[in-house]
């Protein structure tokens, strides 16, 4: 009976065992079920038991505060040193879209620095961010048969689209040019470097052209350009044959989808010339925009941002402020706790809590 | 293996054979006929098709030979099977049953002939359906959830496909007997009716196959027949065999996973959990199997062909005649046939079953007790009919038919003939008995039984829930119920550890205290003895000795009575050198008895000057005060049992006087006492219901329930309603008391009225019972959720492990998915996953599972000794405060807070900035590309958040860990390391088999960025700070709040600590305790009341035992005067 079985097993657990039938075969077969006398099973593992006392917590607060506040200040100063200049070139009048807007602006930068030219888009998030990574990696089969998740930008006119997907289809294709108007009134084009704006690994490992870089026209034969594109992918950069196909850096930058609906992407880099001459001397500049990318239909905004670059990237005071805040709170809490601790510590044995 | 064995085996797994039913008797037959009728009815509805077929079959039988006919016969059977099946469903729907019956009766005239024919054939199909049933379950189960369909022993019939003729099949019975036995453990889940419906939808041939096997009916007949020695009864006396069919009804469950991520992401954790559970269950099963094997393979001696042979106990079959020697345990339930004793009795102790260590007498069947040798026993020709096993150990009804010379004698069987498995044979050389219920069979029944009482077998049932749903929140807490709300303990023996001492006695109103002045001031009526537990706990041992026969001077008779009225000592005592001991004023000898109170009595009497020496030649010898040996001839001993509640000894003094000494519970003694009558009324008013208030400093109520009286009351209550009302009132009263003392309860009362009552109450509390063998606590134990053998274990179990357990499960982390939720606001609700799939999948499995597991296994926030020393610490735990809503909300709020910090931290970091770096850090790795700037995309964002999340989760757990063993270190830091390594690997390689590479180098790029690092550190610190601020202010505030009560409050404890620990350690511990007091116990419960209550608890903090016990004892001690 189950009761019997249960009872016998229950009996086996007893230490002093009330086995009346010692020779009973049922009882003798059951081993002792006492757990092993090991440190683990008996919960006696040697352990370090840190105890948070005022002696440890208060110094921790102070140390954190004292470390964080300088870091925060440093970050904030760095961030503030970064100069940014921003132009919204969306074009207000939707009836007459300006394709070439020239704007005059002045940019004061006396120091030598590397500057970046960024564009910022403010657009609703793309819901389908899928891209065919194998296709972009140069997989010939994926080139001809893109992943289904590229739909509805998978095939066009019966041919597979390369690169497929909505993201690629909406490639940012405005052309920005920067002219410096010198004292003579002549416009000198500021040299914009378009290499090195993408991740090194993206350009060299993740993105690859089919059949290497040899003759992209042939490599992309049998594929169709994305619907909204003007040129096929192998003609993205007519000036530099090395910068075409999937490894076009503008394309790579675009394909690294942004996290938030308002995002900023690197467009070009302005290299510093020498340590003495300012990269962008004071004066008037002209931004020439080849306006291809329509944003008005979805109430988007387009901006150009000229920014200096520091070690911590673009201008972002948040990190510095956050550090300062946290450091201050820590320090403040430390002080409060210290006061409380001393005021209410009426055991009046100062040795009680080793500070 | 005889024919009977085959019959038995078949009966286990499969539908009852209906072939025998026609010969059944009485009710059974009627039932069977009813079924037949219904079946016929269904057949009639089936229409003329069957009739036609039948006719065709007959024609073919005539024309084309037997083989063909048999095939058709099979078809017909299949048809019938299906129809019967339909009928069954119909019946289940309970539609117009009566009407059907009537029609059946009309049709009966026509169907009568068919009935017999088909009944015969039907028997084999019925047996077979279980097989296909299981197979179909496997085939159709859409989702496999672990459900055990019992290890069913099935007869596997040689496959006889319906289309293929099988000339080998000659007889239904034979085909089944050649079948091999299989044990089938099915893991499947499907609604039975559901798949039956599917059966019907299948195509014709399949339908036939299935329907042949699908037939089956539940047969709830509660009787069975056993053939002793597997000998069939003589023809004409055949008995009806009915056995309960295991009902493999299982339920299906549907699981819907709706998630923005891939099914793998959602499914893998679930799969993981299920796999782990399956492995765990499998392992447990394996262990159980091993243990079963050990028991199953121990040898049993069985009479076979007139010889005693050894057999493995698992091969024991119902009907085997078992040979058991003295001190052996019965391998299964047996009916005693004959014994080595002349009178056909044997003695059995059922200590392992119900804790009664006394010897019980069992009787052999009258007609078989003369068969005392193997050969004779083997020649017994008899069948036994008995009911199905009952949860009540002491109830058994059956009868045996003994066939002698074509003459059958029927004898009733009762529980006095039934030897229960697990009991032990005593004082009898050997017995022969027939197995009526083997372990295998029982397991079969118990597992399939609908009756919960039979299934209540495992003492420790752990429930583990792990909620894994990536779309909602992730609870990484292991909920294993060890939150005991009610503790039941046996008083005698358990609580006292059988450590009893004779304190005083009261005879006729005079109190006699050994070695003390008798002040005569206290008039103790019913309480004679206090047992003693560590010199603190006083319990009444309600034992009264009354001399009913004699009016001799009381002081003289009483000790003699006490000394003599012990039944058990006589058989098992060892008395060594008592005389020597006495004259030195010290006892060097000791008495041994199964009952500690008897020892206490005898020893107490010894101190009063009456020493029990020995039992010699049936004479008890007592050394009295004057060093004279008095001899009493022991005439009869009536042993104690829980029904009579008393024991009696009849002795004859040397003077020739006869004495009857009676010892027992007051409830059973007083009615028989002439002199004590006066005080009886007072006694009753005393013990019914007493409330004692004011224990310690807080009001507490203890309730005493007298079992002797409660047992009368339910009996008196006429209707069920009244009884129910009574129970409800009782429950209500019990709930309002912190401790309820139930005394003088019968075992059944303990089990039924107390434990069951509490357990079946609305809240379904978890109960724990303490009981050790010798007293009758086992009944309560069996009914409780948990059981521990000794009371002393309770302390550590509750105070230490219960506490730890609570702390361990109360860790909650809900931070994981909330950023994802927030992210949806920023990505246009596009279901864009924030985290990479791999991260989503592995978060619960790999990154955070082990640390929380280690935490849940080995966290000890407070030292064991302190917990043991201060039971008040358990109070808060006991009230479930760590898992109450406020705490849950607290954890949730904390998680949300953390998530917000993380998400918006990263958000502001990314917001409207390029968040680039000019590659200074990167320079070391890619010198040729020093000017690389980094754009961080959405995956970087998610990875950043995720990294912070993992770090934060692990580190907050690390902060909550107070007990750092190497395992904790290993898993926490190991998990961190694993995360980093995994991320490097996951992003460091172009994985060939994945169609996306979005994580490629994201992690590394992120690590290469200074701001990312800074943000990781920052946010972690922020969380750290959040954690610190949780408790630190409180811990600092606490001395202030408690300053007034410093002297009375922690004072004693502080001293305790100082005593046991170094100076520094004491302070540290003090501080820890405050902290816990203040924050971790109940972060949201008001602190002030607790603190103000602190001193009160502090005063009693040094007490050894839990409040329950204290209250009990207190109530009792208040009640007793």
* ipTM (interface pTM): 0.75
Catalytic residues of B: 490
- Cβ contact, residue pair A11, B352, below 8 Å: yes
- Cβ contact, residue pair B914, A265, below 8 Å: yes
Cα nearest neighbour of B1011 on chain A: A312
Residues of B whose CB is below 8 A from A307: 914
User: What pLDDT sits at residue B421?
Assistant: 76
What are phi and psi for residue A171, nearest 5 degrees? -60, 135
Residues of A whose CB is below 8 A from B832: 125, 127, 129
Q: Closest Cα partner for A254 from A179, A199, A311, A332?
A: A199
Over range A130-159, report the average pLDDT: 76
| Number of other residues whose CB lies within 10 A of the CB of residue A18 | 16
Of A127, A198, A322, the CB nearest to B828: A127
Work out the minimum CA distance from A218 to partner chain B, whole angstroms: 24
User: What pLDDT sits at residue B146?
Assistant: 27
Which range of A89-93, A100-104, B227-231, B653-657 scores highest in mean pLDDT? It is B653-657
Work out the minimum CA distance from A173 to partner chain B, whole angstroms: 18
Q: Give the burial string for B729-759 (b: 16+ CB within 10 Å, else e).
A: ebbeebeebbbbbbbbbbbebbbbbbbbbbb
Residues of B whose CB is below 8 A from A340: 1033, 1036-1037, 1040
Check if A43 contacts B (Cβ < 8 Å): yes
Check if A30 contacts B (Cβ < 8 Å): yes
How far apart, in whole angstroms, are the C-alpha atoms of residue B696 and residue B1109?
13
How far apart, in whole angstroms, are the C-alpha atoms of residue A97 and residue B188?
67
Of B773, B913, B1035, the CB nearest to A314: B913
Q: Tokens 């735990």 belong to which residue?
A: B877
Strand order across the beta sheet in which B629-638 lies: B544-547, B658-664, B646-653, B629-638, B619-623, B611-616
Q: Is the pLDDT of residue A109 over 60?
A: no
Cα nearest neighbour of B791 on chain A: A14
User: What pLDDT sits at residue A336?
Assistant: 86
List, in sequence order, every residue forming a beta bridge with B304; answer none if it has no partner. B307
Cα torsion for B1098, B1102, B1106, B1109, to the nearest 10°?
A: -110
Residue pair B998/B836 in contact by the 8 Å Cβ criterion: yes
What would the two tokens of residue B498 be? 């059988």
Residues of A whose CB is below 8 A from B929: 196, 200
Over range A259-275, report the average pLDDT: 74
User: What pLDDT sits at residue B192?
Assistant: 35
User: What pLDDT sits at residue B1015?
Assistant: 56
In this structure, are strands B786-788 and B767-770 parallel, antiparallel, or unpaired?
parallel
Check if A348 contacts B (Cβ < 8 Å): no
Residues of B whose CB is below 8 A from A322: 905, 908, 1018, 1022
Work out the minimum CA distance from B857 to partner chain A, whole angstroms: 9
How far apart, in whole angstroms, are the C-alpha atoms of residue B1043 and residue B1049?
9
Work out the minimum CA distance from A5 to partner chain B, whole angstroms: 7
**Please, where are the H alpha helices in B326-412?**
351-354, 374-378
Say whether B1115 sits in a helix, a strand or coil: helix
User: What pLDDT sits at residue B348?
Assistant: 82
Q: What CA–CA distances, in Å, run from B957 to B41, B812, B953? A: 69, 9, 6
Cα nearest neighbour of A6 on chain B: B457
Q: Is the pLDDT of residue A254 over 70?
A: yes
Cα nearest neighbour of B1022 on chain A: A326
Mutation for A interface: B287, B316, B329, most A CBs within 10 A: B329
User: What pLDDT sits at residue B196?
Assistant: 40
Strand order across the beta sheet in which B424-426 lies: B356-363, B345-350, B424-426
- Cβ contact, residue pair A265, B1005, below 8 Å: no
Sign of CA dihedral B856, B858, B862, B865: positive
Q: Is the pLDDT of residue A26 over 50?
A: no
Question: What does the pLDDT look like over B705-745, one tens digit per residue?
Answer: 544 444 444 333 344 444 455 556 666 666 656 566 665 55
User: What pLDDT sits at residue B198?
Assistant: 41
What would the two tokens of residue A3 be? 């009761």
Say whether A86 sits in a helix, a strand or coil: strand
Instruction: Answer left, alpha or beta for residue A222, where phi above 0 means left and psi between -120 and 50 means alpha.
Output: left
Mutation for B interface: A12, A19, A24, most B CBs within 10 A: A24
Residues of B whose CB is below 8 A from A40: 858, 967
- Cβ contact, residue pair A118, B423, below 8 Å: no
- Cβ contact, residue pair B864, A43, below 8 Å: yes
Q: What CA–CA distances, in Å, run from B1083 to B28, B550, B867, B891? A: 65, 69, 20, 10
> What's the gap between Cα B644 and its chain centre?
31
Kindly state the DSSP code that residue A313 receives in the 8-state scheme.
Answer: B
User: What pLDDT sits at residue B855?
Assistant: 78
- Cβ contact, residue pair B790, A264, below 8 Å: no
Say whether B984 sits in a helix, a strand or coil: helix
User: What pLDDT sits at residue A270?
Assistant: 78
Residues of A whose CB is below 8 A from B436: none
User: What pLDDT sits at residue B735?
Assistant: 61
The three-state (H, E, C) secondary structure of B53-100, written as one string: HHHHHHHHHHHHCHHHHHHHHHHHHHHHHHHHHHHHHHHHCCCCHHHH
Q: What CA–CA distances, in Å, run from B937 to B254, B828, B1003? A: 38, 16, 12
- Cβ contact, residue pair B931, A48, below 8 Å: no
Residue pair B774/A18 in contact by the 8 Å Cβ criterion: yes
Please report the residues numbered 176 through 235 in chain A whose beta carbons come closer than 8 angstroms to any beta carbon of chain B: 196-202, 205-206
Q: Which of A65-69, A212-216, B215-219, B1015-1019 has the lowest mean pLDDT?
A: B215-219
User: What pLDDT sits at residue B1012?
Assistant: 53
How far apart, in whole angstroms, are the C-alpha atoms of residue B1079 and residue B1085?
9
Mutation for A interface: B1036, B1070, B1080, most A CBs within 10 A: B1036
Residue pair B152/B183 in contact by the 8 Å Cβ criterion: yes
Residue segments in chain B with a per-residue pLDDT below the cut of 50? 1-34, 36-69, 73, 81, 83-221, 236-260, 446-482, 492-497, 515-588, 675-704, 706-723, 772-777, 912-934, 994-997, 1008-1010, 1022-1121
Residues 6+ apart with CB under 8 A from B684: B709
Cα nearest neighbour of A199 on chain B: B934
Work out the minimum CA distance from A158 to partner chain B, whole angstroms: 23
Instruction: Answer left, alpha or beta for residue B25, where phi above 0 means left and psi between -120 and 50 means alpha.
Output: beta
Q: Is the pLDDT of residue A16 over 80?
A: no
Kindly state the DSSP code that residue B932 receives in the 8-state scheme.
Answer: -
Over range A220-236, report the average pLDDT: 81
Cα nearest neighbour of A15 on chain B: B789
- Cβ contact, residue pair B352, A7, below 8 Å: yes
How far apart, in whole angstroms, are the C-alpha atoms of residue B938 and residue B961?
34
Q: Closest Cα partner for B298 from B284, B285, B315?
A: B315
- Cβ contact, residue pair A24, B772, below 8 Å: no
List, in sequence order, every residue forming a beta bridge with B138; answer none if it has no partner. none
Residues of B whose CB is below 8 A from A124: 828
């Amino acid at each position: 009976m189950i009761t019997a079985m249960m009872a016998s097993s229950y009996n086996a657990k007893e230490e002093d065992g009330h086995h009346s039938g010692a020779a009973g075969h049922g009882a003798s077969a059951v081993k002792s079920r006492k757990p092993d006398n090991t440190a683990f099973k008996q919960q006696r593992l040697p352990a370090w038991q840190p105890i948070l006392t005022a002696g440890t917590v208060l110094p921790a607060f102070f140390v954190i505060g004292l470390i964080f506040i300088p870091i925060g200040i440093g970050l904030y100063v760095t961030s503030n040193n970064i100069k940014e200049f921003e132009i919204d070139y969306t074009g207000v009048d939707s009836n007459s879209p300006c394709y070439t807007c020239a704007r005059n602006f002045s940019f004061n930068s006396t120091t030598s620095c590397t500057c970046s030219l960024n564009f910022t888009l403010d657009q609703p998030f793309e819901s389908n961010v899928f891209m065919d990574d194998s296709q972009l990696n140069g997989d010939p089969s994926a080139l001809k048969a893109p992943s289904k998740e590229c739909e509805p930008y998978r095939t066009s006119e019966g041919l597979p689209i390369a690169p497929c997907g909505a993201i690629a289809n909406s490639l940012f294709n405005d052309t920005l040019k920067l002219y410096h108007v010198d004292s003579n009134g002549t416009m000198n084009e500021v040299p914009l470097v378009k290499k090195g704006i993408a991740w090194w690994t993206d350009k060299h490992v993740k993105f690859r052209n089919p059949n290497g870089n040899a003759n992209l026209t042939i490599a992309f034969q049998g594929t169709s350009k994305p619907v909204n594109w003007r040129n096929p992918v192998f003609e993205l950069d007519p000036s530099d044959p090395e910068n075409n196909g999937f490894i076009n850096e503008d394309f790579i930058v675009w394909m690294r989808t942004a996290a938030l609906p308002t995002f900023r992407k690197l467009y070009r880099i302005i290299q510093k010339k020498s340590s003495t001459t300012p990269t962008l001397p004071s004066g008037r500049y002209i931004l020439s925009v080849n306006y291809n990318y329509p944003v008005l239909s979805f109430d988007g905004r387009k901006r150009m941002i000229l920014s200096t670059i520091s070690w911590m990237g673009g201008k972002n005071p948040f990190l510095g402020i956050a550090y300062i805040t946290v450091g201050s709170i820590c320090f403040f809490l430390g002080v409060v706790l210290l006061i409380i601790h001393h005021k209410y510590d009426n055991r009046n044995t100062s040795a009680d809590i080793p500070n | 293996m005889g024919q009977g064995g085959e019959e038995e085996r078949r009966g286990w797994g499969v539908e009852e054979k209906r072939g025998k039913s026609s010969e059944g008797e009485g009710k059974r037959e009627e039932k069977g006929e009813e079924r037949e009728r219904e079946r016929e009815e269904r057949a009639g509805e089936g229409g003329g098709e069957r009739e036609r077929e039948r006719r065709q079959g007959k024609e073919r039988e005539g024309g084309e030979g037997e083989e063909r006919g048999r095939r058709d016969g099979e078809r017909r059977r299949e048809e019938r099977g299906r129809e019967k099946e339909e009928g069954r469903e119909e019946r289940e729907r309970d539609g117009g049953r009566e009407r059907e019956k009537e029609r059946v009766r009309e049709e009966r005239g026509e169907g009568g002939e068919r009935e017999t024919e088909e009944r015969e054939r039907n028997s084999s199909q019925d047996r077979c359906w279980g097989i296909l049933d299981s197979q179909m379950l496997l085939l159709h189960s859409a989702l496999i959830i672990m459900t055990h369909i019992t290890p069913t022993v099935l007869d596997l019939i040689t496959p006889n496909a319906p289309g293929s003729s099988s000339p080998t099949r000659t007889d239904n019975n034979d085909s089944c007997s050649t079948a091999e036995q299989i044990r089938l453990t099915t893991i499947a889940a499907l609604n039975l009716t559901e798949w039956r419906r599917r059966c019907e939808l299948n195509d014709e041939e399949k339908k036939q196959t299935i329907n042949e096997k699908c037939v089956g009916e539940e047969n709830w007949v509660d009787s069975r027949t056993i053939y002793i020695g597997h000998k069939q009864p003589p023809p004409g006396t055949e008995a009806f065999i009915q056995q309960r069919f295991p009902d493999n009804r299982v339920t299906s469950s549907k699981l819907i996973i709706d998630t923005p991520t891939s099914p793998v992401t959602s499914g893998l954790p679930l799969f993981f959990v299920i796999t782990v559970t399956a492995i765990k269950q499998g392992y447990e099963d394996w262990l159980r199997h091993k243990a079963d094997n050990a028991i199953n393979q121990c040898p049993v001696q069985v009479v076979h062909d007139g010889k005693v042979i050894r057999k493995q106990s698992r091969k024991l079959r119902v009907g085997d005649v078992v040979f058991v020697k003295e001190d052996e345990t019965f391998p299964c339930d047996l009916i005693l046939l004959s014994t080595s004793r002349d009178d056909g009795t044997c003695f059995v102790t059922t200590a392992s079953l119900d804790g009664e260590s006394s010897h019980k007498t069992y009787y052999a069947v009258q007609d078989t007790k003369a068969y005392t040798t193997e050969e004779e026993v083997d020649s017994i020709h008899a069948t036994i009919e008995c009911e199905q096993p009952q949860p009540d150990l002491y109830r058994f009804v059956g009868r045996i038919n003994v066939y002698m010379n074509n003459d059958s004698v029927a004898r009733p069987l009762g529980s006095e003939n039934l030897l229960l498995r697990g009991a032990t044979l005593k004082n009898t050389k050997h017995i022969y008995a027939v197995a009526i219920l083997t372990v295998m069979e029982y397991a079969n029944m118990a597992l399939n039984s609908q009756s919960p009482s039979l299934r209540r077998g495992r003492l420790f049932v752990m429930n583990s829930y792990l909620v894994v749903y990536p779309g909602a929140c992730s609870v990484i807490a292991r909920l294993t119920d060890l939150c005991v709300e009610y503790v039941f303990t046996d008083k005698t023996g358990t609580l006292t550890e059988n450590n009893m001492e004779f304190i005083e006695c009261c005879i006729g109103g005079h109190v006699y205290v050994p070695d003390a002045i008798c002040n005569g001031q206290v008039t103790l009526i019913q309480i004679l003895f206090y047992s003693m537990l560590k010199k603190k706990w006083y319990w009444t041992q309600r034992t009264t000795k009354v001399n009913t026969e004699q009016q001799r001077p009381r002081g003289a008779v009483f000790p003699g009575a006490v000394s003599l009225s012990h039944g058990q000592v006589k058989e098992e005592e060892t008395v060594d050198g008592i005389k020597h001991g006495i004259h030195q004023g010290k006892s060097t000898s000791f008495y041994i008895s199964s009952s500690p109170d008897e020892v206490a009595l005898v020893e107490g009497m010894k101190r009063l000057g009456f020493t029990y020496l020995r039992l010699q030649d049936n004479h008890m010898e007592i050394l009295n005060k004057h060093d004279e040996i008095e001899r009493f001839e022991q005439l009869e001993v009536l042993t104690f049992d829980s029904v009579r509640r008393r024991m009696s000894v009849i002795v004859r003094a040397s003077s020739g006087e006869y004495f009857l000494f009676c010892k027992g519970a007051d409830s059973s003694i007083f009615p028989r006492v002439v002199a004590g009558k006066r005080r009886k009324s007072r006694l009753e008013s005393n013990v019914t219901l007493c409330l004692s208030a004011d224990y310690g400093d807080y009001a507490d109520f203890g309730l005493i329930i007298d079992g002797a009286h409660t047992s009368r009351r339910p009996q008196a209550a006429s209707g069920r309603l009244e009884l129910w009302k009574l129970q409800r009132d009782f429950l209500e009263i019990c709930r309002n008391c912190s401790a309820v003392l139930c005394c003088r309860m019968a075992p059944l009362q303990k089990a039924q009225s107390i434990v069951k009552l509490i357990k079946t109450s609305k809240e379904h509390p978890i109960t724990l019972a303490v009981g050790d063998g010798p007293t009758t606590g086992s009944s309560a134990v069996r009914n409780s959720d948990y059981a521990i053998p000794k009371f002393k274990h309770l302390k550590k179990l509750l105070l230490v492990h219960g506490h730890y357990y609570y702390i361990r499960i109360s860790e909650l982390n809900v931070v994981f998915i909330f950023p994802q939720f927030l992210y949806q606001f920023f990505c246009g609700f596009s279901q864009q996953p924030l985290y990479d799939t791999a991260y989503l999948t592995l978060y619960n499995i790999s990154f955070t599972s082990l640390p929380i597991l280690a935490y849940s296994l080995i966290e000890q926030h407070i030292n064991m000794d302190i917990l043991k020393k201060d039971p008040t610490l358990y109070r808060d735990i006991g009230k479930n405060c760590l898992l109450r809503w406020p705490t849950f909300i607290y954890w949730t709020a904390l998680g949300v807070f953390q998530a917000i910090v993380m998400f918006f931290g990263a958000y502001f970091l990314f917001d409207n900035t390029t968040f680039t770096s000019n590659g200074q850090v990167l320079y070391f790795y890619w010198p040729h590309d020093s000017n690389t700037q980094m754009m961080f995309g959405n995956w970087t964002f998610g990875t950043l958040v995720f990294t912070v999340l993992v770090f934060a989760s692990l580190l907050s757990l690390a902060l909550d860990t107070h007990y750092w063993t190497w395992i904790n270190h290993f898993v926490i830091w190991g998990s961190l390391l694993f995360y980093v390594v995994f991320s490097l690997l996951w992003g460091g390689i172009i994985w060939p088999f994945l169609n996306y590479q979005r994580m490629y180098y994201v992690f590394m790029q992120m690590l290469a960025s200074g701001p990312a690092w800074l943000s990781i550190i920052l946010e972690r610190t922020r969380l750290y700070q959040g954690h610190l601020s949780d408790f630190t202010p409180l811990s600092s505030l606490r001395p202030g709040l408690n300053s007034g009560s410093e002297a009375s409050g922690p004072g004693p404890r502080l001293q305790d600590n100082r005593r046991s620990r170094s100076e520094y350690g004491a302070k540290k511990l003090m501080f820890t305790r405050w902290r816990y007091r203040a924050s971790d116990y109940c972060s949201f419960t008001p602190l002030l009341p607790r603190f103000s209550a602190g001193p009160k608890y502090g005063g009693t903090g040094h007490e050894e035992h839990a409040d329950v016990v204290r209250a009990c004892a207190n109530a009792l001690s208040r009640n007793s005067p």
